[in-house]
Amino acid sequence: MRRNLLPLALPVLVSFSGLTACNQLSAGGDPTTGADSALEIWWSEGYYPEETEAIRQAVDDWSAENNIEANLVFYSEKDLIQQSQSAIEAGNPPDVLYGYSIAFDVIPLLAWQGKLADVSDVIEPIQDLYTPEALESVNYQNNQAGNRSFYAVPLSQQTTHIHYWKPLLADAGVDDSSIPMVWDNFWQVWTQAQAGVRQKTGNDSIYAVGLPMSVAATDTTYLFEQFLEAYDVELLDSNGQLRLDDPGVREGIIRALADYTNFYRSGYVPENAIDWGDPDNNVTFLSRLTLMTANATMSIPGSQRQDEVTYKEQMATVLWPNKPSGEPMRYVTSTKQVVVLEDSDQPEQAKDLIRYLTQPDVLASYIEGAQGRFFPVMPDLLERPFWTDESDPHVLVASQQFELTRPLYTVLNPAYSQVQANNVWGKAVHDIVTQNLPPEEAADTAIADIKRIFAEWN
Amino acid sequence: MGHSFPVHRILKTVGLTLTLASCWGGSSWVQDGLNRAIAAEISPVPVAASLVTQANRPPSDRNRQGDQNAQITPTPILTLGQRGEAVERLQQQLQIQGYDLDTVDGIFGPATLTAVEAFQEDQNLDVDGIVGAKTWQQLVPGQPLSLPSTTALFGQAVVWIPTSFGQQPLLLPGQDTNPPSALWLLLMPAVPLLGGGYFYLKQRVRELIKARSQSVTPNPKVPESNDAKSVPWISYFPLAGLLVASVVSFGVYVTVRTSLIGPSVEQLGRAADLKQSELTTWFDRQTNAVLDTAVDPALLPDLKILLQQAGSSDVQATAYSAISQYVAELQTKAPGQQDIALLTNGGIVVFSADDRRVGQYQPLQNTTTYFTADQVDRVEPNLYVSPLTNELLITLATPVVDETGQRIGVLAVDLNLTDLDERIRQPINLSEGDRNYLGDTGETYLVGRSSLIKSEFVSKRQDIDVQFQTGVSSRGIDNAINRQEGEGLYLNYAKTPVIGVYRWVGDQNLALLAEINQAEVFNPARQLAKAIFFGGVAFTGLGSLLLWGIRRRAQNRLPIPQLNPETNNRGLSESLKQSDR
C-alpha cells in the first residue's frame, strides 16, 4: 500500500526542492565596512559645526602625532544608534564609538553582553581626575566574563534644562524676574502666557511648552525621567532591584504621566510633538514657536553663543521648579562615554586615542568647543574661565543644577538600559496623547514591560 | 478489503477534485497564494493546492508576444509644474500626435497643459490635465513584454502577460493585484481535500447501503463490480491521466520557476548598479552646486550684506532682491534644488526662497548635512522631517566665508527629493525605443531612515505619504537599512511577492532596492505548466473515450442477461468469463 502514496509524495518533494532553491538566495554582509587598516571612529554628529570641528581637530592631531590613520565618521544620533547596532550584530563594528544617547540606551547592554573592551588601563591612571559619579557610571557588569570593570571612559555629562524667550514672555505681559518655584505655579506661568503671546504676535502657531511627546525622541524618555524624579518615584532601590510592586510607585508614575501629557492634551504643546526627533524641540524653540522648552542638553543656548543679543538678552535658562512635594529638584544626570569595541582589531590604538582625548586640556577643548552643550566630569575643568564666566546667564544656571544630582537608573541596573532602548516611557506618553489612553492603563503597560525586561535579564 | 486503506479511492476522488479546482476561476489566487507562501519562506504544505498551477486569465491582444511594436514605456503621473525626462517624453508624444507644442523642454508648463487637455478631450478621457495611467495608455499604445531573458529561455512559452499586473512600469503602491486573503490560503488546499472526502464518504455510504441490502437478501457469491474486475485499469485511466498531468505540470512549473530566479536577480542587480551610479552622480552634482553657489563672486557681496546686516535697510532690501533673482535663475538651471536659504552662524534664516522661513531656525548640523570644501568627498546626506513644515528633507549646507576665511554664515540648500525619486524610479531603457529593462512591474526606489523608528520612501509624493504614514518595511528594506546587501524572494512594502535586490548605499546613507513582481517573472512557468496540464487533460479525455468505446464494443458482443435481480449478476459474470476466454 505504501507504494501507492508515491504519486502524492512526489509533488511535495518537488515543491520542497523549489523552496530550497528559493532559499539559496541570501543576504550578504555589510558592504561599507571592510578590512580597512584605518582606525574606524563613529561619533555622534554635533548640532553645530564647532562641536564637530572640536573632535575632528583632536582626532586629526592624534592621528598626525602617532602616524596612525583614523577614519572619523559622523552620524546623527538616530542613525548612529541604528547603524552601530547593525554593525555590532554583523560582527563588523567600528573600533571606537561615541554617542550621547547610546550611553543610556546601548552601552550598558553591550557591556553586559561582553561586546566592549575593558578600558581599566585607560581609566586607572587618571581616575583621580574624575568625579566618583562619573566613574560609577562606567563601571559595568560583564555577564560573559562574570566580572565588573570599566568598560567605557567618561567624557562629559548631561542633565535636563529649561529655556525660555524673554521677549515672548514680555509680549504676554509676564514679568520674568520672579518666576515661581512652586511646581504648579511654575508651569502655569507658561500655559497662562500662551494666549497673550498669540494675541500680541498674531501668531497662533506659538505654543507655551516644548515637551516632546514622541517615541522617536530620546528626549521624551529623558525628560519624563525628570518628571518621575519630580514626583519622587523610585523605580529601583539602591541595589538595583525593582520597586514596581509598591503601590506608591505606581501612583507616582500615573501622576507623572498625567502631568507630563496634560500639556499636550490641553493644547499647550505643538501638535507635531508626537513625531519629534531629538533636534525638533530645539528647532521649534529657536524658531520662536514655543515660549519655553525643556531639553536634555545645553545645545539650545550653545547654538546661539555667537549672537550675543540672543544669547545674553533674549534667551534665558532657568532652574526647574521645586518638586510638587516642595523639596528642591534633584537633577537626573547621564555620563557621556566613549567605548572601544571588543571586536576591534586595533584595540591598543583605539585606547591610545582615548588616552589622548581624555587629557584634561584636550578634553576641555572638545567640551568647550561644543559650546557648553555637555558639562565636564573632571572637577578641575570647571575651574576654567568658560565655566566660571559670571556674565554667562546659561552656564551659571547649569552649574547650579549639577550641584544636586542623581544618575539614571542604568547605573544601578544595566537592565534599565533596555527600558530606555525600548522607549517604554516614550510609548506610554505617546499612547496617552494619541490614543487617549488613561494614564493608569499606560502606567500598567509600562510597569508590565519593565518587569518583563528585568525578568529577561535575570 | 473493507478495513484496509482505500488509497485507490482517495486517489480517484482527489484527482477529480483537482480537476475541479484547476478549472475553477479562482485558480490564479492559488498561484498568488503559493508565491506568497514561498516569498514568506513558509511551505504551503497542502499538496493538492500546490498541484493547481494554471492561471485562468484570458490573453490580452495588447500584450501578445506578436505585438513587437511596443514603445518606450510610459512613466509616472505628471501634472502642471513638474519637470524632467518624463515630461520631455510626454511632450514628444504630444508633438508626434500633432498637438500644438512649440518646444520640448521637459517643463510641464501651461502650453503642455493645454495640449494634454486637448488630447484628453479628443480621446474621451476625463479632461483633468493630469497624465495618469489612462492618458499614458492612449498616448503611448502598446506595452513591453516580459523580461527578455525569460522569453529567450522558454521561447513560445510566453503567450501573454496578465493585464492586471499593470500597464505602467512605475508600480504605484497598491496598484498591483489585490493580495489573496489568509482565508483563501486556507480554503484553497481545503477544496480538494473536502471534495475528496465528500466523494469518499459518498462511496462508503453507497457500500454500506449495498451491504445492508445484501444482508437482507443474502447472496455471498455476488461480485462487487464486473467491469472493474474484468478490466480494472480502464476505470482508473482517467484518474491516472489527470494525476500525471497535474504532477508533471506542477513539477515543470516549479523547475522552470526556479530557473527563472537567477536571470531575474542578475537583471535586478544590473539595474541597481545603474541606479546607484545615478544616485552618486546626482548627489555629487548637488554638493558641487552648493559649493559653487557659496563662493560665487557674483553672489558673495549680497550674501555678506545680509549676513553682516551691513548698510541701510534699502541696501539690505536690494541685496535680498538680488539674491532672490539669483536663486530663481539657479533653480531653473538646477532642478535638484528645491529651496535655498542663508543662515546666520546661529542658524537663523535671513534669506529663503520661501519668505515664510525668514527668522526661523535651521540647525547648522545634525539634521542639516554640513560640509566644507575639503570634505566634499565625504558628504553623507541626512534624511529628516522638518518639524516646521513636516516635510521630508535632505538639506546640504556649506559655510559662507569672508576674505579672512572666517565663516560669516551658512548656505543651506533643501534638495528636490521629487527630482531624485523620479530619476531613481525612471524605467531603464537601454537604448532609444527599447522596452523597459525591468518589465512591467519592475521598480527601483530609495528608502531612508527619517527618524529613530521610521523608514520612508525618499519621495515627496503625497499618495505615498498618505498610504505609508507609519513608514515602510519589508525584508529587503529592513535588511538594506541594517547595512546589508543581498537578494531574495520576499513580500515588498505593499505585501506583493517580489524578487528583489537590496543594497545599503553608505555614501548616501540610503537604501536602494530593485524589485519585480514574482507574478510577472514566473508567468512563463505558469503558461508552460498550463499548456502541459490542459494537454494532459485533453489526452486523458480522448484516451478515456477510446477505452470507453472499446469496452462498450466488448460488452455489446455479450449476450444480454435477463432482468431477474436474483440471477442478473450471476449471468453477467458468466458472460464476462466467456468473453475473457
Interface test with A, best of B22, B361, B469, B485 (most A CBs within 10 A): B361
Distances (CA, A) of B329 to A330, B276, B335: 56, 29, 11
Rounded Cα distance between A147 and B477, Å, is 39
pLDDT of residue B46: 30
Size of interface A-B (CB pairs under 8 A): 197
In tens, the pLDDT along A240-256 reads 999 999 999 999 999 99
Distances (CA, A) of A336 to A153, B182, B310, B398: 8, 49, 41, 29
Chain A, 199 to 218: residues with Cβ < 8 Å from chain B are 215-218
Distances (CA, A) of A84 to A42, A78, A418, A421: 8, 10, 16, 13
Rounded Cα distance between B341 and B572, Å, is 102
pLDDT of residue B85: 73
pLDDT of residue B160: 28
In tens, the pLDDT along A273-311 reads 999 999 999 999 999 999 999 999 999 999 999 899 999
Q: Three cell numbers at B35?
A: 508565491
Of A22, A218, A284, which is closest to B38 when you measure between CB atoms?
Answer: A22
Rounded Cα distance between A111 and A145, Å, is 10
Q: Which residues of B touch A29 (CB under 8 A)?
A: 484-485
pLDDT of residue B73: 42
Phi-psi region of A403 (alpha: psi -120 to 50; beta: other; left: phi over 0): alpha
pLDDT of residue B435: 63
In terms of DSSP H, where are the helices of A118-272?
Answer: 120-123, 132-137, 166-171, 183-201, 218-230, 247-265
pLDDT of residue B551: 80
Q: Which residues of B touch A45 (CB under 8 A)?
A: 365-366, 382
Query: From B345, which residue of chain A is nearest by alpha-carbon distance?
Result: A306
Cβ–Cβ gap B365/A22 under 8 Å: no
A45–chain B Cβ distance below 8 A for any pair: yes
pLDDT in tens, chain A (458 residues): 444 444 444 444 444 444 433 333 545 544 444 445 899 999 998 888 888 888 999 999 999 999 999 999 999 888 898 888 888 888 889 999 999 888 888 899 999 999 999 999 999 999 999 999 999 999 999 999 999 999 999 999 999 999 999 999 999 999 999 899 999 999 999 999 999 999 999 999 999 999 999 999 999 999 999 999 999 999 999 999 999 999 999 999 999 999 999 999 999 999 999 999 999 999 999 999 999 999 999 999 999 998 999 999 999 999 999 999 999 999 999 999 999 999 999 999 999 999 999 999 999 999 998 898 999 999 999 999 999 999 999 999 999 999 999 999 999 999 999 999 999 999 999 999 999 999 999 999 999 999 999 998 87
A105–chain B Cβ distance below 8 A for any pair: no
CA A223 to chain CA centroid, nearest Å? 10
Q: How far apart are the first and last CA of chain B?
A: 27
Only one residue has cell 475541479, namely: B20
Beta-bridge partner residues of B515: B443, B500
Nearest Cα to B547, choosing from B239, B232, B237?
A: B237
Beta-bridge partner residues of A332: A406
For residue A454, the distance in angstroms to the closest alpha carbon of chain B comes to: 23
> Which residues are within 8 A (CB) of B259 and not within 5 positions of it... i.e. 6 or more apart?
B153
**CB distance B384 to B399 below 8 Å:** no
Q: What is the largest distance, in Å, between two alpha-carbon atoms of chain B?
A: 127
Distances (CA, A) of B418 to A164, A224, B338, B394, B464: 37, 38, 9, 11, 12
For residue A369, the distance in angstroms to the closest alpha carbon of chain B comes to: 14
Directed axis angle between helix B27-39 and helix A6-23, to 10°? 50
Cβ–Cβ gap B247/A7 under 8 Å: yes
Q: Which residues of A touch B399 (CB under 8 A)?
A: 49
pLDDT of residue B402: 87
Cβ–Cβ gap A216/B453 under 8 Å: yes
pLDDT of residue B10: 44
Distances (CA, A) of A2 to B5, B51, B248: 10, 21, 21
Number of neighbours of residue B200 by Cβ within 10 angstroms: 16
Block means of pLDDT (10 residues each) for chain B, 581 residues, are: 43 44 38 45 31 32 33 56 75 82 76 85 82 79 37 28 30 36 54 68 81 63 48 74 88 92 93 94 92 89 88 87 87 77 94 91 92 88 92 94 90 92 86 70 94 88 75 94 92 95 94 95 92 92 88 71 50 48 42
Rounded Cα distance between A71 and A42, Å, is 8
Burial class from Cβ neighbours inside 10 Å (0-12, 13-18, 19+) for residue A391 reads exposed
Rounded Cα distance between A222 and A45, Å, is 19
Could you give the 3-state DSSP secondary structure of residue A258?
helix
Would the CA dihedral through B319, B325, B327, B330 be positive or negative? negative
**CB distance B147 to B439 below 8 Å:** yes
Rounded Cα distance between A48 and B410, Å, is 11
In tens, the pLDDT along B64-111 reads 333 333 333 445 677 766 667 778 888 888 887 888 887 777 777 778
Would the CA dihedral through A91, A92, A94, A97 be positive or negative? negative
Number of neighbours of residue B201 by Cβ within 10 angstroms: 11
> Which residues are within 8 A (CB) of A236 and not within 5 positions of it... i.e. 6 or more apart?
A242, A243, A409, A412, A413, A416
Cβ–Cβ gap B506/A283 under 8 Å: no
Record the pTM: 0.73
Burial class from Cβ neighbours inside 10 Å (0-12, 13-18, 19+) for residue B71 reads middle
**CB distance B50 to B100 below 8 Å:** no
Cβ–Cβ gap A18/B254 under 8 Å: yes
Q: What is the DSSP letter of A311?
A: I
Distances (CA, A) of A226 to A240, B145, B482: 18, 63, 32
CA A4 to chain CA centroid, nearest Å? 67
**CB distance A212 to A290 below 8 Å:** no
What is the Cβ-side half-sphere exposure of residue A413, based on CA atoms within 13 angstroms? 21
**CB distance A40 to A95 below 8 Å:** yes
Directed axis angle between helix B313-333 and helix B300-308, to 10°? 130
Q: What is the residue-wise DSSP string for A378-427?
A: SGGGGGSHHHH-TT-HHHHHHHHHTTSEEE-GGGT-THHHHHHHTTHHHH
Mean pLDDT of chain A: 91
Q: Are strands A161-165 and A147-150 parallel, antiparallel or unpaired?
A: unpaired
Cβ–Cβ gap A31/B344 under 8 Å: no
Q: How far apart are the first and last CA of chain A?
A: 55
Query: From B239, which residue of chain A is nearest by alpha-carbon distance?
Result: A7
